[in-house]
Amino acid sequence: MVGKTIQNEIVLQGIGVSSGIAVAEVQLIAAQTQVVVERKIGPEEIPVEITRFEDALMATHEQIRAIQKQVAEMLGDEHASIFDAHVLVVDDRTFVEDVIRGIKLDQINVESVLSSVASRYADMLAQMQDSYLSERAADIRDVTRRILANLAGESLNQMSQIDRECIVAAHDLAPSDTAGINRQLVKGCVSDLGSATSHTAIMARALEIPAVVGLHNVTSSVSQGDTILIDGSKGLVFINPTEERLTDYAKRAEEQQLIISELDAQRDKPSETLDGYYMPISANVELLEELDSVANRGAKGIGLFRTEFLFLQNNELPDEEAQTEAYMAAAKSQYPAPVVIRTLDLGADKLPADFEVVAEANPFLGSRAIRLCLAHPKLFRTQLRAILRASVNDNIRVMYPMISCVLEVVEANALLEECKQELREQKIDFNENIEVGSMIEVPSAALIADLIAPHVTFFSLGTNDLIQYTMAVDRGNENVAHLYKPTHMAIVRLIDHVVKVSHKHGLWTSVCGQMAANPILVPLLIGLGVDELSLSPTQVPLIKDVIRHLHYADAVELAKNALSAQSAEHVAKSCRELIERIAPEALELFGQ
């Protein structure tokens, strides 16, 4: 966007995607251009070029998997899934065979053939009407860039060369770039391109560093060594800020820290509205190392214990003993508060190399989660037995992900009953009355919630995927990110429907998606009758503060008006106005 100069200061307005204030010298990350020179080869060199290509593919595959594992361990599987499409490109036999065929027929070097084939594929996908397919063009270009670097024996990781505190400025940051960010040194990110749901935005929020994207000309406006100030809440970037500006923002940063400290000091107060309505707040947990942070941040129990880390940290599947030990640790750390363990929510492509994998064009809508588990009952039974054994503490609950029909729940429950019978025969204790829940993240499941209800004791709304699947929007696709709207009437009505069905059948419903961690949307969820919110431990103090400033009656009125509203924008405006009135400090910290 166009900047305006105030003396030597340049002010740019972009999209604030990760809140916070940061000031440091800028570190420009140059867009790496790879010059490909065409070279004719003789027939005897063809096998050599093919071998070079296959070696580079193997190296690229290993690098992407290493990045995936690094991100999964640091930020969780949801963020690691960004790289699924990159693996698909490397493993695409049609793509690979086209390159090999070109080397043989044209008798030119692999770099030239690869660039030509990749450009053809990327250009073809970029023209597709389907947003998912058009977005894959960027994946092909990113992977091609990495393969070419491996062919040349070069490294693409400029992030690893950062040795001082800085704010990174780039035209755009590829997923593999953001995965290498050192939080101790990189204090913030700014980029010319990007949206609120771009890879840069997603990673910056997960890393909890301020970020502004969509600035268009920030890289052409800064020079190496310039001082840069980021206001992640308002999407403002100041290049060479004035002393007055720095003083003003230093005061704001101090005020924000004071708010954070005050929230932290009140974290143990009940999440109860001003008129006495109590809303339970539990935590989403990715790793065992996070267990202590649950109570320390003021949450009660775990509303979503993701088990994927057990399957990603080694090159072999975790056995029953290893899983039982992990689930026991979670249960004991929270007792007597409940722990909801979600069964494996991965695709086969993420499991160890010796696991049977069938290539899929779109793994996001393929054999994953409950579908994968039901297709591999041995894998599923091992996990169910481990969960049951850990349930001897009687605060364990089990939950199935990506349910899309009643039969999946029925079949999963049948396997659970078989595991119970095995344990009875083996004289192994477990909780006979363990609660069973279904994730509601697929629209079909939401619409037939009344048919699923008799087979479970609770629902958990995974709003991230529910919005994505309902709106047919890839939330990582900048071209359609503006359509990803939590306040869309379809989403509001689906949540309302699921909650009403659950209450009619004597069930309870939680929300474990990002809506639960959004202070602007929490009153809406409360008004719609949601029974529990589950969110990242770090976000609990802010959400509890919002609830303690809220009148339950106002939340009910907000939801009532939302259900009859005509647009997502109207609902979002009403939600924001309520927060501005009751808890403006939430907007200062949340920044949206």
Active site residues: 199, 512
Q: Could you tell me the two tokens for 91? A: 């493993």
Specify the DSSP element, H or E, that contains 27. strand 21-29
Q: What is residue 190's three-state secondary structure?
A: strand
Distances in Å between the Cα of 91 and the Cα atoms of 13, 57, 116 are 40, 9, 18
Report how far residue 558's alpha carbon sits from residue 544's, in angstroms, rounded to the nearest whole number: 19
Residue 367 near residue 348 (C-beta atoms within 8 A):
yes
Q: What is residue 439's three-state secondary structure?
A: strand
Cβ atoms < 10 Å from Cβ of 130? 11
Please give the angle made by the CA atoms of 130, 136 and 137, to the nearest 5 degrees.
105
Residues 6+ apart with CB under 8 A from 286: 75, 76, 77, 306, 309
Distances in Å between the Cα of 394 and the Cα atoms of 5, 282, 390, 441, 464 are 64, 17, 8, 27, 30
Report how far residue 428's alpha carbon sits from residue 344's, in angstroms, rounded to the nearest whole number: 23
Report how far residue 249's alpha carbon sits from residue 245's, in angstroms, rounded to the nearest whole number: 6
CA Rg, the chain, in Å? 25
Beta bridge partners of 21: 231
Q: Strand runs (DSSP E) across 266-332, as ranges? A: 281-285, 302-306
Of 296, 354, 302, nearest in space to 332 by CA: 302
The owner of tokens 């916070």 is 20
